[in-house]
Amino acid sequence: MTSLRAFTCDDLFRLGGAALDAVLLNCGPQYGIPFYLQYLAHWPEYFIVAEAPGGELMGYIMGKAEGSVAREEWHGHVTALSVAPEFRRLGLAAKLMELLEEISEKKGGFFVDLFVRVSNQVAVNMYKQLGYSVYRTVLEYYSASNGEPDEDAYDMRKALSRDTEKKSIIPLPHPVRPEDIE
């Protein structure tokens, strides 16, 4: 039981509560306000929040559309997916992913992709269940804090209907460096 709607600036004030505990399933940098605003300004349709009947913020997904159409690289990207611990194991992450895929379909994307820490087995498995596969490994994509080594990321992809031959998800044989990805 969930209300799904567009994320608004006022929701930022409520991120604290849930986000204090929420472990992002896949995440890039530490987000600051500008980061959220950038997404709201550029891809508002890709920023969806889920609310519980009691009004609690259950989770959100944030993404974007990018890549060249000519090179068949136009795609949806999952930037962040977060579900508060209280609302785990309800299939909410899957629901939010489904919505992002639907939007990407409508925009004529060839695939949807996301980055995830190689160590985050729970997330990797979840994405696999949702039909994603590892397209390539990006070396030292996550810069580490407090002395631990940098961590690699999996770039996971799922082909959309426009990519009829599923060319976009054929795994690369070699890992790439972060500077080589677009």
Partner 1 sequence: MAARGHVQDPNDRRLRPIYDYLDNGNNKMAIQQADKLLKKHKDLHCAKVLKAIGLQRTGKQDEAYALAQEVAALEPTDDNSLQALTILYREMHRPELVTKLYEAAVKKVPNSEEYHSHLFMAYARVGEYKKMQQAGMALYKIVPKNPYYFWSVMSLIMQSISAQDENLSKTMFLPLAERMVEKMVKEDKIEAEAEVELYYMILERLEKYQEALDVVRGKLGEKLTSELQSRENKCMAMYKKLCRWPECNALSRRLLLKNSDDWQFYITYFDSVFQLIDESWTPPLEEEHSLEGEVHYSIEQAVKFIEERITEESKSTRPLRGPYLAKLELIRRLRCRGCNDEYKLGDPEELMFQYFKKFGDKPCCFTDLKVFVDLLPSSQYTKFISQLLEVIPLSSTTESEIALPADIKALQQHLCVVQLSRLLGIYHAMDKKQKLTVVRELMLRYHHGLEFGKTCLKTELQFSDYYCLLAVHLLLDLWLEEGEEMAVWQCLTLLEEGLSHSPSNAQFKLLLIRIYCRLGAFEPVAELYSSLDAKHIQHDTIGYLLTRYAESLGHYAAASQSCNFALRFFHSNQKDTSEYIIQAYKYGAFEKIPEFIAFRNRLNSSLHFAQVRTERMLLDLLLEANISSSLEESIKSMSLSPEEDDIPWKDLRDNRDLTVLFNWDPKDRDISEEHRKLSLEEETLWLRIRSLTLRLVSGLPTLSHSIQPKNSEKTAENGVSSKIDTIRSLLQQLEAAVDSGKKFLEQKIQYPVLGPPPTRMAGFFSNGSCQCQTSLFYLVSDIYELDTNGLEVQERIGNSFKSLIERLTDLFNKCKGDLIEVRDGTLKTQPNLLENLVFFVETISITQWVSSYCDGVLRPFKSNLQKKKKKKKETNVAMPPVFTHFLDYVTELQTLTSNVIDHIKGLEIILTALKLEELSLKDTLLLQVRTSIIRDDTEFWNGELGCDVCDSICCLICLQ
The yes or no reply on residue 48 touching partner 1 (CB under 8 A) is yes
The yes or no reply on residue 41 touching partner 1 (CB under 8 A) is yes
Among 28, 68, 102, 172, binds partner 1 (CB under 8 A): 102
The yes or no reply on residue 32 touching partner 1 (CB under 8 A) is yes
* Between 19 and 134, CB nearer to partner 1: 19
**Contacts (Cβ under 8 Å, ≥6 apart) of 35:** 29
The yes or no reply on residue 108 touching partner 1 (CB under 8 A) is no
Report d(CA 6, CA 8) in Å as an integer. Answer: 6
* Between 1 and 70, CB nearer to partner 1: 1
The distance of closest approach from Cβ of residue 2 to partner 1 in the complex, given in angstroms and rounded to an integer, is: 6
∠ CA 170-126-172, nearest 5°, is 20
The yes or no reply on residue 86 touching partner 1 (CB under 8 A) is yes
The yes or no reply on residue 152 touching partner 1 (CB under 8 A) is no
What amino acid is encoded at 16 in this protein? G
Report d(CA 149, CA 110) in Å as an integer. Answer: 34
Say which residue the tokens 């896949």 belong to.
Answer: 26
Nearest 10 degrees: CA dihedral of 38, 40, 34, 144? -80
**Subset of residues 54 to 73 that bind partner 1, contact rule: CB under 8 A:** 54, 56, 58
Alpha-helical (H) ranges within 26-156 are 33-42, 92-106, 121-129
Can you give the binding site for partner 1, defined by CB under 8 A?
A: 1-6, 8-10, 12-17, 20-21, 23, 30-34, 37-38, 40-42, 44-45, 48, 51-54, 56, 58, 85-91, 99, 102-103, 106-107
